[in-house]
Structures are given as C-alpha cells and as structure tokens.
Structure 1
Amino acid sequence: MSNPRSILKAITLIGLLSLGVAAQAATPAPYAAPAKGTRTIYRNAALIDGTGGPMRRGMAIVVDGDRIVEVVGDRDISAASLASGKVVDLGGRYVLPGLIDSHVHVATPPDRKRAEAVLRRNLYGGVTAVRDMADDLRSVAEITRASLVGEIAAPDIYYAALMAGPSFFDDPRTAAAAMGVTPGKVPWMQAIDDSTDLPTAVTLARGTFATAIKAYANMPGQTVAAIVAEAHRQGMPVWAHGAIFPATPADVVAAGPDVISHVCYLAYQASDAVPGSYQKRVPVTYDRFGKTGSPVTAALFKQMAERNIILDATGRVYLDYDARAKAHPEKPALCTADLAARLIAQARAAGVQISTGTDGTASADDPWPELYDELVYLVEQAKMPAAEVIRSATLVGARAAGQEKHMGTIAAGKFANFIILAKNPLENIRNIESITTTVKRGHAYPRADFRLLTKDELGDDE
C-alpha cells in the first residue's frame, strides 16, 4: 500500500497546481476577444466587403464580442443599436476584411521570439489569419493556442501536417522541423509509400489538430490520389504542391486537392520533362510559353476551375528567384516572376480562384507584412484589378483555409475581422500602407501601437 504521507503530499501538490492554473485562467489575456455583450458600432465607413462588389459609403458595422452582428447603412441603424455600445466614427475611412496570407512557415526551425515578432507585424499590418504550410507542429500548435486565447498579438493560424515520399526526408529542413525525433516518422511529418496504412496516417495527422494535409514531394500520382481520397473520406482538406515529382501537375490536378500551391510548378507539364524528385528540380522550359501561357497549362487551369481547386500562386517567391538569379547569374532561376505573372493571368482567364500566399519572410527591419509584396505583385505585374486582389486576400484566402463560414467577408455572423485604411486601396493597392487599425475577433489593434523589434532584439544575423 502507498505511504499515506506521500499520498497527502501529492494531493496537496495537485491542489496547489490547480490553484495556480485557476489563477492563471482568471488573469485576462491582453489580446483576448471582447466578451459577448460588449458592443462596438463602427460608423461612417466606406465598405469594401471582400465579395468583389462595389464599395459602399456611409455604412455601419455593429460588433458584439468577437462577431459582427449587423452591417447596415448609417441611416438604417437603430437608436437601440447606437445606444447599446461604444460608437466609433470612422469619418469615411475605408474598411475591408482582415487579410489572409495563404502560405507561411512560422517554425522551420522553431524560433518562438522571431515567430511572434513576424506574426505581430502581420497582425498590426492587417493580416488576421494565415495558412501555415508545414512546420514543426509542436511549436506551431502552441503559438496557435496562444493567438487563439489572446496571449499574443498574432493572426489566427490554420496549419498542415506534411506527407511526402521517404526520399524527401534527406532535406535538411525536415530535420529542423522534427528536431529530437526522426523526420518522416512523426504525425506532423510522415513518409508515405505503397506500404503505408493511409487511414492510420491520416488519423495521426488529424491528431495534431492540423486543418489539412499537405502533399509535398517525391510521390507518384497514384499515391497523391490515394492521400487525397483518404483525407477527404475523413473530412480533411488537402493542400498540395503543383507538382510533386515524379507526380506531374496533371496527376496532382486529377487527384483533386482543395488547394494547389506555386503557379510555376504547373509549368512543368509543358516542359521537356517533370523532374523525378524535389531534389532534382530544374528550370522550366521557358520557350514553351508565349505571352498568354501555353495550351498545356490552359488545360490544367480549366480542370482546376471545373473542380473548384484554388491556386495559391505565391508570386512573391518568384520575385525572390529573380533577385537570386541576378546575384548569381551562373544559377538560372527555376522560374521567373514574369512567367509566373503570365500563368496567373491564364489561370484567371480560366476562372481559377487565386489566393494570396507569400512563402517567405521579410527582413526583420521591414515594418510591413510580406503579404503587401504579393498584393502589389498581383496588381502591377499580373495585372489583376485591385478589387479582385482584395477578394483574393480575403474571401478566397478564407476558402483556402477552410474558414469561409467564419471570415473572408464583412457580414453578420462572421468574426469581426477587418482593417481600417485612411486611403482608398481600390485607387492604388499600395494604399494598404495607410492602415490605421486592425480589428481581429473584435479586439482593436491601432497601428500607432506597433513597434518593430530590432535585429538585436530578435537575435537576427541578417
């Protein structure tokens, strides 16, 4: 029988720990959403609601707790609504839904201080949600929780568990994202081949609280199709690369994932050959593409539109490719920003929905989110109208993250996620930098409160 004194000591310790947890729970998180019943009425707004429709002036947005409860014209708002909470007169400023970056990596390798700094910069720049495209999910899950309960100032995070062929796990990034354990043999980063029990593999991925599975690299088409089928059977979306090597872009589209990333990967279908693995990628065959793309990619985009597969184009990536190629001309870029823009235009013409993902992190001394680069690129190089780019960064981004029910447009019932600008972004997308306030889940974040961390504070050696 156990020693009674030891049992009493254990009970006392548990009681003290419980008191500590209770005390911690009683301490309000600094960035928590307002309680239900806390109402704020934002009046006199020029509303760009995210649907792609025309801007509406003289609008009011009524927020209760973390949700929008009413969107009406100022003239139609009731006296009872006005008397029910705090009134904020926007003086005709421009309001649009919170922005969504549909391609980020916050923990490869995990660096909590830097991740929080980048996420804080995103939030104070108007990004209220991000789609994390595979990382060390031990770290991402904790940051996601801290953001959700308001312990840190950060966008909401929706993240993927990765699946790839066994040969991919020689990539050093996988070691960084699975430190202490074996890459490819953990629930958030699984090696998949013909012997894999896919129902179990998908169940393990679901156990990480991932929103989706990311099909990444070094798998044949039939394996990609099997992953998509099993994930969908278990109610889980699939986010895939446009080519998975040796799986071709046509194989990926045929498999039917919910979102496909990296527009230039689709160009491999019209190239001389699709590389046999991620590690053996080569530049696409540029001379196969005219000013309007290629008939081969046109066929792929037509299929994507028919199947409602969203394109996470990541134009910003190809700006980085151009910069590296300029610095190292002996190493030609895998694709160029110019070709990516032509392919995006071709995708748009086919009716493909395009989200705004970045897949990169700006310098520590840049005050603005990386997403701004993507928005400017889509308008100025891919020639998308500003209204369409805003829709891509809001409604389509919400669809890409599987969150359209809760965000993406300014409408009753959705989270109170919106941003306030001093200048009209429809006239110039660069006016996004006139942001004065971000509202996320009803909590207001004035831009004036933002302070950029220095490189020294971040321990950044850039």
Structure 2
Amino acid sequence: MYKLKILVSLLLWQGAIYAQNPKKILLKNATIIDGEATVKPRIGSVLIENGKVKSVSYVPMKDISSQTKVIDCTGKFITPGLMDAHVHLGTADLKNLKRAHATTDSIMGNLLKHGITTVRDMAGNAPFLAECKRKVQEGQVAGPEIFYAAQFAGSGYFKKIGNGRDGGVDLGNSAWYRAINSKADVKPAIASAKKAGVTGIKIYADLSKELILEITNEAHQAGLLAWAHGAIFPSKPMDVAKSNVNSMSHANDLVFQQIKGDTIEIGAAWAQLYKGLKLDDKVRDQLLLEMKKRGTFLDPTVFHAENNKMVNAVLITRRANELGVKIVTGTDWIYPTKNESVPLLDEMKLLLGKCGLSPLQVIEAATWNGALVTGLKDRGLIRVGKRADLLILSSDPLVSLNAFERPEMVIKQGKVAVSSARL
C-alpha cells in the first residue's frame, strides 16, 4: 500500500508539472555549457520549441512571441541532460511483475529528478524494459528514455548462472539472453534481438575472438551497436578491441591483456589480480591506442571498481584520457528508489578527482559521449535541432560537480519534467 501511494503521488506530481508546459520556452541569460568539452561556456539564451532547441543566441533576443514562456536564468547554468551509460533496470526478480514495475517506476522517477534524461541499459529482460520505455514515452511514468541491449555469451556461461531469475525464462534461449556456440548461431540471434527492440548487443563472456568478430559484424550490418566487456574470457582485451566493438566496459578488465598466452582462463586471471597484478604500462598503452584508433569508447565504471578495491581502473582510465580515448559515464550500480543521491554523480566525481578529466570533459562524458556510444546524435549537446533535454543548475558545475545533485529544473524533450521553481 505504501509503494502504491508513492506511485500515485509520483504520477500526480508528473501531471502537475507537465500541465504547466507552454509550447515555447525561452531560457534567458544563462551560462550555457554546450556538452562538448572544447566549447567554451558563454552567457546566452536557449529557445525551445516542439521538443527541440530552436535557437541558441549569445546576444539579446528580440521579437519574443507572446506565447513564449520566458524564464530568467541570470546567474544560473544550463547543461544537456545527463546519461548513465551502464544501468540494469531489468534484472530484478520478475516473478511478480506488478511489484517489479512499481519498484522500477520509483527508480526511474529518481533518475529524472537528478537530471538523468537517458540511460543505456546493459542487458536485462527485454519485454520488461520495452514496457518501461513505453510508459515513459507515453507519459505514464516519469523517467529517462531507455535504450537496452541483448546479452550474448557462450552456453557455458548460462549453464553456470542457472535459471533462477528473469521470471523463469530459460536463460540462453531468449532473444535478450542468447547462447552463442558457433557462427551459425549469430545471424538468427541478431535478428531475434532486433525484433525485441534492442539498440545494441552486449558481448559478455565465454566467446572466442572469432565469435566476437562475427557478432560485431552482424550487429553492425543489422543496424545495431556492439557493446562488450573489456575482457570476454577466454578472449583477451586486445581481441575485443580489434573486433571493432563500439564500447568496452570496465577499465579494470583491461589489465588482463598482460597475462601471457593467446587466451585467458577466468579463475586464474582473477586469482592473479587479487594477488596484486601490477599494471604493465607498455601493454596498457598498446591496448588503449588500439581503442583510440578504432574509435572505441571506454565505459570505465570506476565507482564500481573503487567499491570492489580494483585499483587498476582509475590508473587505466587516467591514461586512456591522456591518450585521447573517449570516455563515457556508466555506473553498473544499484539505484535508490527514493529521492536519494545517485551513483552517477559519484562516477563523475571520480573521473574528475582521480582520473584527471577536466570538469568540461566529465560533463562531455556524461552527455555527448553517452549519446554517441548509444548511437544517438539527437541529444547531448545544446545546439540548434538537438532534442531539448536540458538541466538548469543554480550553481557552477565547473566549480563543483555537486551542482548536479539537485538540478533546479529538468527539461525533457522540451517539457519541464522537474522543477523546484514556479513557472
């Protein structure tokens, strides 16, 4: 009953906010942080119309329509909406779908309140995620837009984890959790995943380098992206990079490249790591330069690594940034259901404080890079024609990232979704 009351309150709150939305909104006199790190912030105004950025002006705007709602943002800061590029919203116990949706709806509302307007879900129950996505798009639930993956792995992996989750689905034999044992499995599996609405294939474990390459090529031919773990045992990280995947997750996993041999055994590799495997700088740089050459994004999940005492993640991410590898902010962490702090901010702070990114680079990682790694070119920047997913902050995020903790206003697709101020 308590959770039901929360859900009803959330829906009423969302309806009240959306009812205030005018057709045009002018955000006037704010410091605009574009989303691309090389663009210097400037004071200007942003006109929103039909869910998109209609104009960005750095001179006083004239002839404002009487139908335009003008919001004075003097002393405030505008950034693109944030993106968590590594979440898992569809991996909870799904035996009771009503309860699972109530919990996830609360999580999604909290994501939006904290300025997260888009997420890349890195594998879960596709029908469940499709329903979550639909409810958000139709305005039934407040939350970010969801793009999700199908997880491909060898049959040995699925046998190891068993069938005790995902609502009783036979893992390894669904469109979203698929066992791949030969090249002949790949094309029909890709077709099935695409029908399930995925944006990308998550290449996960127990796959040879030949199968990784086959999956990546077939995914790209089908118009899907290929997202991989940094190490896909028994394949090494360099095998993954050379397959032309779009992103590699978990910077800590890249250390396994230096283990001798053409393949790596998962148990032995982790045993070496826990004994204090020292990072080989030459091997690390060879791998990172290969990623840079191929335009492979690094999804380092340093907050996850720090919480699990994986010290190499920070060292590898710092060097990746120095070498010009594009970085995205992903957490792979549990999100709270209530209005509590979110791990994305912790990830951003670690990228700034320990990994050497500048504040503008961190914001780029959490906006434009997050969009690009998901195949989205319609958001992540404050430019004419881009989707109007915007945050209004009351303090300067270039001075302190804590400015993102409580956005004063969250605008999603041109509509005010969250506001602490009266319009």
TM-score (normalised: structure 1): 0.81
5+ residue gaps in structure 2?
Answer: 1-13, 95-99
Which of 364, 367, 377 is matched with 1:391 structurally?
364
* Cα distance in 2 for residues equivalent to 1:135 and 1:174: 14
Give 3-state SS (helix, strand or coil) of 1:306's partner.
Answer: helix
Of stretches 84-93 and 159-168 in structure 1, the one that deviates more from structure 2 is 84-93
Pairwise CA distance, 1:33: 7.8
1:410 aligns with 2:382: yes
* 3-state SS of 1:197 partner: helix
User: 2:86–2:331: 8 Å Cα contact kept in structure 1?
Assistant: yes
* Number of aligned residue pairs: 400
**Cα distance per residue 1:378-410 (max 9 Å; x no partner):** 11111211111001100100011111x210101
C-alpha displacement at 1:89, in angstroms? 0.8
Q: CA deviation at 1:56?
A: 3.5
Q: 1:90 Cα deviation (Å)?
A: 1.1
Label 1:399 to 1:33 Cα distance change in 2 as closer, same or farther (>3 A). Answer: farther
- The answer (yes or no) to whether the contact 1:35–1:65 under 8 Å persists in 2 is no
**Partner secondary structure for residue 264 of structure 1:** helix
Is the 2:207–2:233 contact (alpha carbons within 8 Å) kept by the matching residues of 1? yes
Match of 2:106 in 1: 117
In 2, Cα distance between the equivalents of 1:412 and 1:33? Answer: 23
CA drift of 1:279 comes to 10
Partner of 1:78: 62
Please name the residue that 2:417 is paired with: 445
- Change in Cα spacing, 1:170 to 1:282, as seen in structure 2 (3 Å) is farther
1:12 aligns to what?
A: none
Between the aligned partners of 1:365 and 1:34, the Cα distance in structure 2 is: 24
**C-alpha separation in 2, matches of 1:31 and 1:261:** 39
SS in 2 for 1:255: coil
C-alpha distance after superposition, 1:288-330 (max 9, x if no partner): 32xxx611011011011010010111111112203xxxxxxxx
The answer to whether the 8 Å contact 1:270/1:288 transfers is no
**Of residues 182, 190, 195 in structure 1, which corresponds to 2:178?**
190
1:107 is aligned to 2:96: no
User: Where does structure 1 lack aligned partners over 5 or more consecutive residues?
Assistant: 1-28, 323-334, 450-462
C-alpha distance in 2 between matches for 1:247 and 1:310: 19
| Equivalent residue in structure 1 for 2:159, among 156, 170, 190 | 170
Report SS of the residue matched to 2:178: strand
Q: Is the 8 A contact 2:77 2:394 kept in 1?
A: yes
2:51 aligned with 1:66: yes
The answer on whether the counterparts of 1:46 and 1:55 sit within 8 Å (CA) in structure 2 is no
- What value does the CA root-mean-square deviation take over the aligned residues? 2.4
Corresponding residue SS for 1:224: helix
Determine if the alignment matches structure 1 residue 353 to structure 2 residue 326: yes
The Cα shift of 1:78 comes to: 2.9
What's the TM-score once normalised by structure 2's chain length? 0.89
Residues 337-348 of structure 1 mapped to structure 2, 5 A cutoff: 339-348=312-321
| CA shift for structure 1 position 158 | 0.6
Residue 33 and residue 159 in structure 1: after superposition, are their counterparts in 2 closer, same or farther (change >3 A)?
Answer: farther
4+ residue runs over 6 A deviation:
31-37
Q: Percent identity?
A: 28
2-structure distance, mates of 1:170, 1:348? 38
- Give the direction of change, closer, same or farther, for the CA distance of 1:254–1:174 in structure 2 (3 Å limit): farther
Structure 1 pair 367–134 and aligned structure 2 pair: CA distance change class (3 A):
same
Match of 1:262 among 230, 237, 250: 250
Mapped to 2, the partners of 1:266 and 1:251 lie a distance apart of 11
Judging changes above 3 Å, is the alpha-carbon distance between structure 1 residues 240 and 313 closer, same or farther for their aligned structure 2 residues? Answer: same
2:164 and 2:66 map into 1 onto residues whose CA distance is 57
1:312 equivalent among 276, 293, 299? 299
For residues 254 and 366 of structure 1, do their structure 2 counterparts lie closer, same or farther at Cα, with a shift above 3 Å needed? same
Q: By how many angstroms is 1:32 displaced?
A: 10
Change (3 A) 1:242 1:116: same
Residues 138 and 424 (structure 1 numbering): CA distance in 2 closer, same or farther, change over 3 Å? same
Match of 1:92 among 75, 83, 90: 75
How far the C-alpha of 1:201 sits from its partner, in A, is: 1.2
* Partner residue, 1:3: none
Deviation per residue, 1:261-297 (Å, 9 max, x gap): 11111110113576434898435274432xxx61101
